[in-house]
Amino acid sequence: MMRGQVVHLPLFLILTLILTFSAAYHIGVNYGTVSNNLPPPHQVVNFIKTKTNINHVKIFDANPGILTAFSGITGISLTVTIPNSDIVSLSKLPNARSWLSDNLLPFLPATSIRYIAVGNEVIATSDRTLIGHLLPAMEALTLALHLANVTGILVSTPHSLGILSGSSEPPSSGKFRRGYEKAIFAPILDFHNRTKSPFMVNPYPYFGFGPETLNYALFNSNDIVVVDTVTKLNYTNMFDAQLDAVYSAMKRIGYGDVDIVVAETGWPSAGEPNQTGVGLDFAATYNRNLIKHVNSGKGTPLMPNRVFETCIFALFNENLKPSISEQNFGLFKPDFTPVYDVGIMKN
Ligand SMILES: *[C@@H]1O[C@H](CO)[C@@H](O)[C@H](O)[C@H]1NC(C)=O
Ligand SMILES: *[C@@H]1O[C@H](CO)[C@@H](O)[C@H](O)[C@H]1NC(C)=O
Ligand SMILES: *[C@@H]1O[C@H](CO)[C@@H](O)[C@H](O)[C@H]1NC(C)=O
Ligand SMILES: *[C@@H]1O[C@H](CO)[C@@H](O)[C@H](O)[C@H]1NC(C)=O
């Protein structure tokens, strides 16, 4: 009886069900806390769990209050971040092992941790000492996890698109910054390939659009906007073009198969009076279209049918950020009311 019913479900309904159940799977949020008016972590966790379809949360530290609040919560995994200032120290195995014992082991396995992000946009700092210790710290933490018999936590580091050389247009010509390709990225990508961990990037069409390309940045363009002159592939949105530029850079040095995770992307809902393309409608459009696009499973022109776990920046508006636009990347206000409807609330 049941089996017969399932068999007779129209295909579109089955597809809808699959999409519905997988819909939430790929969308996470960055839970930033540069603010003095946010609710306590246990309320935040309860809100995410009961009211939204968010199933991944990235934090910018390893705050024990937040890790405790996620204890026993199923269906939501976490990325914790190691601050840039700890990277040099954690490149030594004994320090990596004590960091792990002090900061994560007490919360395992009750708190579901999926990724450790080692620093944030380290290459963009241009700090040679920091950059030189990035991979050693990732290796040390991976070994520390192994020595502690922890499985299922992968180590990575999020990059800004500043890792690409200036001329990443068309997307298929994407390459890593001169001088970084062989010395920095080949060994990092080899690490990802060996440990099956993802390459994390923070693509922000918000930082890339100009007067002519606002609709392209907002996924609002049904017309072809960029034709890659080399591949003849058509691009209708900047997000795809940015990811394909990253992919092209990876593939150029042999690592096209390493997974890509979008660790941050977003759009502010308010800004300075003289800022164009910033506001409620723009932010709602970007994030709504982003979620639809990621969950469509279409992938990008160069990576068809690949799905990228995507973490929207950010969960909350954060009132202690330095500029109006930076204060207004949140999907929610500190009292949990949505800043705009982006389609991630449970019915
Ligand atoms: C890890 O597992 C091995 C083999 O099961 C065991 O000998 C070792 O004591 C474990 N180490 C820790 C830190 O639990
Ligand atoms: C790109 O768009 C043009 C114009 O619509 C179309 O002729 C071409 O087939 C498209 N290319 C691909 C690879 O889909
Ligand atoms: C990536 O890892 C696979 C094994 O999982 C290996 O066959 C392949 O050669 C590696 N790629 C590179 C570029 O080293
Ligand atoms: C916009 O206004 C801010 C001050 O509110 C000013 O610092 C900035 O230079 C202005 N930008 C432009 C492009 O006019």
Residue ranges of the domains in the chain? 24-327
188/194 Cα distance (integer angstroms)? 10
pTM: 0.92
| Nearest to 112, CA basis, from 80, 141, 83, 143 | 80
Asked if 197 and 156 touch (Cβ cutoff 8 Å), the reply is yes
**Candidate of 172, 225, 234 to mutate for ligand 2, largest count of ligand atoms within 8 Å of Cβ:** 234
Distances (CA, A) of 279 to 238, 264, 270, 282: 19, 19, 5, 5
pLDDT at residue 15 in the model? 44
Active site residues: 121, 264
Strands (E), the chain: 27-31, 56-59, 77-82, 113-118, 154-156, 158-160, 199-202, 226-227, 234-235, 260-265, 310-312
Ligand with the closest atom to the CA of 257: 3
CA of 274 to the centre of ligand 4 (A): 6
* C-alpha of residue 148 to centroid of ligand 1, in Å: 7
The Å distance, Cα 275 to ligand 4 centre, comes to: 8
Q: What φ, ψ does residue 43 adopt, rounded to 5°?
A: -70, -40
Closest Cα to atom 6, ligand 2: which residue? 234
The pLDDT tens digits along the chain (347 residues) read 333 333 344 444 444 444 444 443 579 999 999 999 999 999 999 999 999 999 999 999 999 999 999 999 999 999 999 999 999 999 999 999 999 999 999 999 999 999 999 999 999 999 999 999 999 999 999 999 999 999 999 999 999 999 999 877 899 999 999 999 999 999 999 999 999 999 999 999 999 999 999 999 999 988 888 999 999 999 999 999 999 999 999 999 999 999 999 999 999 999 999 999 999 999 999 999 999 999 999 999 999 999 999 999 999 999 999 999 999 999 999 999 999 999 999 97
Query: Is the CB of 167 within 6 Å of ligand 2?
Result: no
Total Cβ atoms within 10 A of residue 9: 12
Residue 246 CA to residue 241 CA, distance in Å, equals 9
- Backbone φ and ψ for 69, nearest 5 degrees, come out as -65, -30
Q: Can you identify the CATH homologous superfamily of domain 24-327?
A: Glycosidases (3.20.20.80)
SS3 label, residue 334: coil
Ligand 2 close to Cβ of residue 15 (< 6 A): no
Q: Which of 274, 276, 325 to mutate to test the pocket of ligand 4 (most atoms within 8 A of CB)?
A: 274
Q: Can you tell me the distance from the alpha carbon of 114 to that of 123, in angstroms, rounded to the nearest whole number?
A: 23
For strands 260-265 and 234-235, give the pairing: unpaired
**Ligand 1 atom 7: the closest Cα is on which residue?**
149
Mutate to test the pocket of ligand 1, among 104, 108, 149 (most ligand atoms within 8 A of CB): 149
Q: Which ligand is nearest to the CA of 147?
A: 1
